[in-house]
Amino acid sequence: MLFEDPVLASRFLTLMTLTFHIIYATIGVGVPLFIMIAHWIGIRKKDEHYIIMARRWSRGYMVTVAVGVVTGTIIGLQLSLLWPNFMEIAGQIIALPLFMETFAFFFEAIFLGIYAYTWDRFDDQRKHFLLLIPVAIGGGMSAFFITIVNSFMNTPTGFEMVNGALVHANPVAAMFNPAMPTKVSHVVATAYMTAAFLLASITAFKLLKGSRHVYYKKALYLTMKIGLIFSVASAIIGDFSGKLLAEYQPEKLAAAEWHFETEGEAPLLMYGFLDENQEVRYAIKVPYMLSILAHSNPTAEVIGLNEFEPEETPPLIVHYFFDSMVTIGMFLLVLSLIYWMGIRRHWAFVKSTFFRWLIVLSGPLAFLAMEFGWWLAEVGRQPWILRGIMTVEEAATSSDYVNVMIVLFALLYIVLGVGTVVVLRRIFKNNPIEVELKGNDSP
Amino acid sequence: MTYEIIGITVLWLFLYGYLIVASIDFGAGFFSYYAKKTKKDHIINQLISRYLSPVWEVTNVFFVFFFVGIVGFFPDTAFYYGTALLVPGSIAIILLAIRGSFYAFESYGSKQSNVYMFLYGATGLLIPASLSTALTLSEGGFITETNGEITMNYLKLFTSPYSWSVVFLAIVSVLYISATFLTFYASRANDTEALKLVRKYALFWGTPTIIAALTTFIALGQHNQRHYDRMLDLWWVFGLSMGFFMISLGLIYIGKYYGLAFISVMLQFFFAFFGYGASHLPYILDPYITIYENATHQSTGIALIIVFIAGLFLLVPSLILLMKLFLFNADYVKGKK
């Protein structure tokens, strides 16, 4: 059967679970911000459209949150089931952020339940709005703490290893590890960015399908504008991440850039592919750019892959992940910038069918970029589970049943994925905005 | 008190919290399916969904909190239980995932289908059964360690009278806790028809619960003598549990003070659960893990306790708000708002 080796099987099952979970987790972190903003504008402008926007978004959000909660529970337990040796060591030190994450999650779960079931219980929408603040904060804090755990795995600090045992544990120092600031801010900014393009993409699709209601135009402008802000933020933080990699994980940066020889004035390679002799073909070379990305200095020396033991270098496939992520990110930034300027300056083409199709594309592309980014971060960390300390081989379970579990979980994710789409369609198809507004007008 | 004792007490408290809130949820799943089969679903389904819809995610967090916490306080549990529980643990989380997401799909999305009702009912009993495996394992004798490799003896697990009595106890307790809660909730809603039905369930499931508790106790005596003796030392705790059981059953029988009856059920399980836990100590997994030898570093343990206390300041008011709005709001329970 597939994956006889429990290590490979555990890696594959973790990859599958996380790839599925982060779709929902990103929505879970990102969308509350938009519900909150729409609800707020609705109150401020006394514009019923925005209140209904918040309500419709939150209705769809509840469904995705449900899947996010259950897949999050799965990955939480899988950490111990599939990587028992890792959790035995790392549990002594990253338990603190993991524990805090459950508190943030608790906080969010309580207030989300209240928000969703109290639309008709407050006469004053401002009171109802207040319930959203803990939801958005809880979502953001969850991302914050769980990304701390991941950044600890990339740049472990706050302890010493003596003869294979962990001593002098300092959980607070472990939380504030070097990768933490850039990783956390990149994850949070891109979650908001992805949510923005997801919502914009749905709205653009409705406009293309012939809806003419002003509601959609308001929603599109709002989401694209916020999308632009977070695209710029993500790009800037992405640049900081490159500098961090150069300092703390040079092998990941070198693998992502196919940078083999240590040299100054290092060029950046874009696209291309590797032939069977591991030679780079058809890549676009941007002179000095890698030195600038790594050290903000066009002549600075960048460490190459040849400096590392072959068994300690990450797979070279991460270059494709890196290029795809950056390309999509730049495309989304330019797209939202043109749209925003176009609306302000009354350029007709931003309302054309072609441009709207590009916006429809932006949602799925944003999710793809996010997946590519995580694959880059995680595959680029191979062969380590705790960089420099523990390899994935030493960490995995010895149980023989992982391959059977892969099949079971794959079936589960298919059912959940299809279920989400079917249920979301059912919620919105028979209840378009025109109907909901009419229902609201009558007393 | 040492930080190890505080740690395990906190975790046990959360597992107890999960036991109560999840039992209400799991049992409700079984009762709605049973009611549908006997064509009585119109009587209780609204009652059940009004309570469960706003709280199901909170239920889930109690569980996450426990297993994240135990790995944090006692990292070796990840090594032993993680390896041994791969199969039962994975099955339990798949069932939980199906249940949780389908529940949300149905209540936010559409009408109820037959497949869904069946899954909702079946998982309500299968999840407690598979989760209780972890408690069985903790008594030792099912896991062996040779040269740092953990193996689990499934044959022994499936043929052990103790493990089956635990499964049986888990299922009947779930049904009893759930039925007594629904009785209380129906009486708050002044829903006489639903009350009649769920009160019958509560009276029915009381007896098997106490019988299962006794058989489990006897089976434990054959499986783990040390633990059995320690439980006998704590006989008065289990006596209190028995006393509260009599009070709850009596109150439900005379048909008055359902709120007090449910509190008695909570106390019944509180004493039984903490008596069981206290007599289990110092072992978390007999004989491999004890709370003293396998606890995390003191610095991590203390940081966890500080975070826990800070977290409570956030959670307790929020939970009170949640209960005020949904559980103790007469208008909401009656279905007006």
Report the percentage of chain A scoring pLDDT > 70.
97
CB of A417 within 8 Å of a chain B CB? The answer is no
Q: Which of B96, B108, B333 to mutate to test the interface with A (most CBs of A within 10 A)?
A: B108
B40 or B177, which is more confident?
Answer: B177
Task: Give the pLDDT confidence of A135-185 residue by residue, as tens digits.
Answer: 889 889 999 999 998 898 888 888 887 777 777 778 788 888 888 899 999
Q: Which residues contact A360 (CB under 8 A, 6 or more apart)?
A: A201, A204, A205, A208
In A, minimum Cα distance to B116 occurs at: A419
**Which residues of B are less than 8 Å from A68 in CB distance?**
none
**Which residues of A are less than 8 Å from B332 in CB distance?**
121
Distance from CA of A415 to the nearest CA of B (A): 9
User: Phi/psi class of residue A388: alpha, beta or left (left: φ > 0; alpha: ψ in -120 to 50)?
Assistant: left
Question: What is the model's pLDDT at position A233?
Answer: 94
Task: Give the pLDDT confidence of A345-404 residue by residue, as tens digits.
Answer: 888 787 888 888 999 999 999 999 999 999 998 888 888 877 777 777 777 777 778 888
Query: Shortest CA distance to B64 belongs to which of A358, A328, A78, A364?
Result: A78
**Which residues of B are less than 8 Å from A415 in CB distance?**
98
**Does the pLDDT value for residue B110 go beyond 60?**
no
Question: Average pLDDT of A54-67?
Answer: 87
Tell me how many degrees the CA angle B69-A176-A232 measures, rounded to the nearest 5.
110
Gap between the Cα atoms of A375 and A322, Å rounded: 9
Contact A73 B93 (CB under 8 A): yes
CB of A71 within 8 Å of a chain B CB? The answer is yes
Contact B96 A80 (CB under 8 A): no
CA B197 to chain centre: 23
Question: What is the model's pLDDT at position A336?
Answer: 92
Task: Give the pLDDT confidence of B247-267 residue by residue, as tens digits.
Answer: 888 888 887 888 888 888 889
Question: What is the model's pLDDT at position A21?
Answer: 94
* Residue located via tokens 């006897």: B218
Residues in chain A, total: 443
Gap between the Cα atoms of A387 and A155, Å rounded: 6
Distance from CA of A46 to the nearest CA of B (A): 25
**Does the pLDDT value for residue B45 go beyond 80?**
no
Q: Which of B10, B55, B64 to mutate to test the interface with A (most CBs of A within 10 A)?
A: B64
How far from A420 is each of A414, A415, B106, CA to CA, in Å? 10, 9, 11
Question: What is the model's pLDDT at position B112?
Answer: 60
Question: What is the model's pLDDT at position A40?
Answer: 92
Distance from CA of A132 to the nearest CA of B (A): 13
**Does the pLDDT value for residue A442 go beyond 60?**
no
**Does the pLDDT value for residue B109 go beyond 60?**
no
**Which pair of structure tokens corresponds to residue B187?**
């009486």
Contact B315 A77 (CB under 8 A): no
**Does the pLDDT value for residue A213 go beyond 80?**
no
What torsion do the CA atoms of B1, B3, B5, B10 make, to the nearest 10 degrees? 120
**Which residues of A are less than 8 Å from B67 in CB distance?**
76-77, 80
Contact A401 B322 (CB under 8 A): no
In B, minimum Cα distance to A135 occurs at: B318
B248 neighbors B180 (Cβ within 8 angstroms):
yes
**Does the pLDDT value for residue B1 go beyond 70?**
no
Provide the 10 A C-beta neighbour count for residue B335.
11
Q: At B119, which helix (H) or strand (E)?
A: helix B114-138
A389 neighbors A161 (Cβ within 8 angstroms):
yes
**Does the pLDDT value for residue A20 go beyond 60?**
yes
Question: What is the model's pLDDT at position A229?
Answer: 94
Contact B315 A110 (CB under 8 A): yes
Q: At A90, which helix (H) or strand (E)?
A: helix A84-116
Distance from CA of A141 to the nearest CA of B (A): 13
Contact A398 B308 (CB under 8 A): no
Question: What is the model's pLDDT at position A441?
Answer: 45
> At B149, phi and psi to the nearest 5?
-105, 135
The model's confidence at residue A33, banded by pLDDT at 50, 70 and 90, is very high
A369 neighbors A191 (Cβ within 8 angstroms):
no
**Does the pLDDT value for residue B220 go beyond 80?**
no
How far from A399 is each of A5, A168, B68, B71, B205, CA to CA, in Å? 10, 31, 21, 19, 39
Q: Which of residues 366-405 of A touch B (CB under 8 A)?
A: 397-399, 401-402, 404-405
Distance from CA of A32 to the nearest CA of B (A): 16
**Which residues of B are less than 8 Å from A92 in CB distance?**
75, 296-297, 300
Amino acid letter, residue A371? E
Gap between the Cα atoms of B209 and B143, Å rounded: 28
> Using CB atoms within 10 A of its CB, is residue B327 exposed (0-12), middle (13-18) or buried (19+)?
middle
Task: Give the pLDDT confidence of B279-301 residue by residue, as tens digits.
Answer: 877 777 777 777 777 777 777 78
Report the percentage of chain B scoring pLDDT > 70.
93
Distance from CA of B104 to the nearest CA of A (A): 6
Asked if the bond preceding B282 is cis, omega within 30° of 0, the reply is yes
> Using CB atoms within 10 A of its CB, is residue A296 exposed (0-12), middle (13-18) or buried (19+)?
exposed
Gap between the Cα atoms of A203 and A210, Å rounded: 11
Least CB–CB distance from A70: residue in B97, B308, B326: B97
Distance from CA of B82 to the nearest CA of A (A): 4
A340 neighbors A228 (Cβ within 8 angstroms):
yes
A161 or A276, which is more confident?
Answer: A161
The model's confidence at residue B123, banded by pLDDT at 50, 70 and 90, is confident
Question: Average pLDDT of A404-424?
Answer: 89
CB of A429 within 8 Å of a chain B CB? The answer is no
Question: What is the model's pLDDT at position A160?
Answer: 81
The model's confidence at residue A439, banded by pLDDT at 50, 70 and 90, is low
**Which residues of B are less than 8 Å from A141 in CB distance?**
none
Question: What is the model's pLDDT at position A443?
Answer: 34
What's chain B's average pLDDT? 80
Question: Average pLDDT of A223-230?
Answer: 94
In B, minimum Cα distance to A73 occurs at: B64
Among A72-76, B5-9, B208-212, the range with the most confident prediction by mean pLDDT is: A72-76
CB of A59 within 8 Å of a chain B CB? The answer is yes
In A, minimum Cα distance to B69 occurs at: A99
Contact A70 B101 (CB under 8 A): yes
Q: Which of residues 93-152 of A touch B (CB under 8 A)?
A: 93, 95-96, 98-103, 105-107, 109-114, 116-118, 120-121, 134
How far from B5 is each of B34, B69, B79, CA to CA, in Å? 42, 13, 21
A45 or A275, which is more confident?
Answer: A45
What's chain A's average pLDDT? 85
The model's confidence at residue B108, banded by pLDDT at 50, 70 and 90, is low
**Which residues of A are less than 8 Å from B105 in CB distance?**
63, 66, 419-420, 423
Distance from CA of B263 to the nearest CA of A (A): 23
A122 or A69, which is more confident?
Answer: A69
Complex ipTM over 0.90 = no
Gap between the Cα atoms of B291 and B129, Å rounded: 26
**Which residues of B are less than 8 Å from A103 in CB distance?**
307, 311, 314-315
Task: Give the pLDDT confidence of B145-163 residue by residue, as tens digits.
Answer: 777 777 777 777 787 888 8
Question: What is the model's pLDDT at position B67?
Answer: 83
A272 neighbors A281 (Cβ within 8 angstroms):
yes
Question: Helix or strand or coil: residue B329?
Answer: coil
**Which pair of structure tokens corresponds to residue B41?**
């679903």
Gap between the Cα atoms of B16 and B274, Å rounded: 8
Task: Give the pLDDT confidence of B69-99 residue by residue, as tens digits.
Answer: 888 888 888 888 878 888 888 888 898 888 8
Contact A113 B65 (CB under 8 A): no
Gap between the Cα atoms of A59 and A394, Å rounded: 44
Least CB–CB distance from A80: residue in B82, B105, B308: B82
